[in-house]
Amino acid sequence: MVVLLRFKIPILVRMLIRSGAVVKIIMTPAARSFVSPLVLETLSKNKVLHSISEESEWANHVMLGRWADLFLLAPASCNTLAKLAHGHCDNLLLAVLLSAVCPVVIAPAMDEDMWHHATTQKNLKTLAEIGYQMMEAEYGELASGLSGMGRMPEPETIFQTLSAHFKEKEILSGKKALVTAGPTYENIDPVRFIGNYSSGKMGVAIAKRLAHLGAKVELVLGPVQLEVSHPNIRVTKVRSAEQMFDACINIFPECEFAIMSAAVADYTPESVANEKIKKQEGSLQIQLKKTKDILKHLGTLKSPQQVLIGFALESKDEKAYAIRKLNEKNADAIVMNSIRTPGAGFAVDTNQVTIFEKDGVETAYELKPKEEVAQDIVEKMLTIYRQKFIE
């Protein structure tokens, strides 16, 4: 790994410079024992920074954090990941990371046992939830001489991730995207409602991904505990299917993109009791009426300039139902997840989706953290956009 590290980062820096990027490098004291700062200074054509006060000169971490369009943390050690996840700030790298206003991509690298340790996995999850883009560590030869998980992704893979970021950002910058997330609650009386188990995590991850790539996101969020704070995300909190419908109908005409991940109630009580319904002898019947199908309605309003993506949560005949929803709701794609897949669907941190497109293309993805599923969905949405409007 020492040898590989010595080569991997300089190779990556050379690729970035050749692609026209301006690269400034910060090294921790540990990194300096792996790669010579002189090599990186020569390749990047910029002084390598390593401490807050360098040769009596103040390295302005706030300005550095604001200067970059993108911050790559590679190789991200177990130690730096742990410190960042908890907001520690005891070196220049962490100070700049905490001051950064740009998207941050993290490429972890460590030995396998450290990678699998519960605290490392918890820290990786925390960082993904904060909104950092986490790259997968790879399987291969490690510093210990053993083989296993924890190897830093290859320079080509990191370069492709960074290039994709800029390509996606180019399309999304300044564009508006509507995202719905969470359940809806349909009131029965002042103390009871009909709801579902949706946590809103999938939709919030999509909203964060879009915001991270420069889109102006309108997040219409059902009743969940999640707090979303991002300068590019405006949150409209709603409770019922009707409120979600009204919010979406207002927002959709201004948007180039819409991703409808909310689990909207299909039925709502005919009438809401003003007082708490008292227990009586025998059974209780609540008459329900159909709610409006928001996605289907947006499908009728959709202009040729808009891309509309829906979800389908199924428990059987997944493909047939997903394709039916794609056609009946006039969506450009349907993201199908099945409750039959362990680890997928509501109230978990992972999901496994298959995306069905209008032209018959079907893409199945692995089970992944919802933040990574969000990346796949946004990438697919942009492929559809490019096919429609650019190519």
Residues lying near ligand CTP in the complex (CB under 6 A) are found at 180, 241, 260, 262, 264, 266, 291, 293-295, 310-313, 325
Nearer to ligand CTP, 164 or 288 (CB): 288
Q: Which of 30, 32, 28, 37 is nearest to 94 (CA)?
A: 28
Q: How far is the CB of 388 from ligand CTP (least distance, A)?
A: 20
Phi, psi of 291 (to 5 degrees): -85, 170
Residue nearest ligand CTP by beta-carbon distance: 294
Nearer to ligand CTP, 128 or 355 (CB): 355
As to burial, measured by CB atoms within 10 angstroms (0-12 exposed, 13-18 middle, 19+ buried), residue 312 is: buried
Q: Which of 65, 56, 78 is nearest to 26 (CA)?
A: 65
Q: How far is the CB of 258 from ligand CTP (least distance, A)?
A: 10
The residues annotated as belonging to the active site are: 196
Q: How far is the CB of 282 from ligand CTP (least distance, A)?
A: 30
Q: Which helix (H) or strand (E) holds 140?
A: strand 138-141
Nearer to ligand CTP, 207 or 312 (CB): 312
Nearer to ligand CTP, 65 or 310 (CB): 310
Q: Are the beta carbons of 109 and 152 closer than 8 angstroms?
A: yes
Start-to-end CA distance of the chain, whole Å, equals: 42
Nearer to ligand CTP, 260 or 381 (CB): 260
Give the CA radius of gyration of the chain: 24
Q: How far is the CB of 326 from ligand CTP (least distance, A)?
A: 10
Q: How far is the CB of 376 from ligand CTP (least distance, A)?
A: 16
Helical H segments across the chain, by residue range: 2-18, 29-32, 37-44, 61-67, 78-85, 92-99, 112-116, 118-130, 155-172, 201-212, 241-251, 294-301, 318-328, 370-389
Q: Distance of CA 90 to CAs 29, 58, 78, 105, 177, Å? A: 12, 15, 15, 20, 38
Nearer to ligand CTP, 120 or 354 (CB): 354
Q: Are the beta carbons of 225 and 116 closer than 8 angstroms?
A: no
Q: Which of 308, 206, 184 is nearest to 253 (CA)?
A: 308
Q: How far is the CB of 360 from ligand CTP (least distance, A)?
A: 19
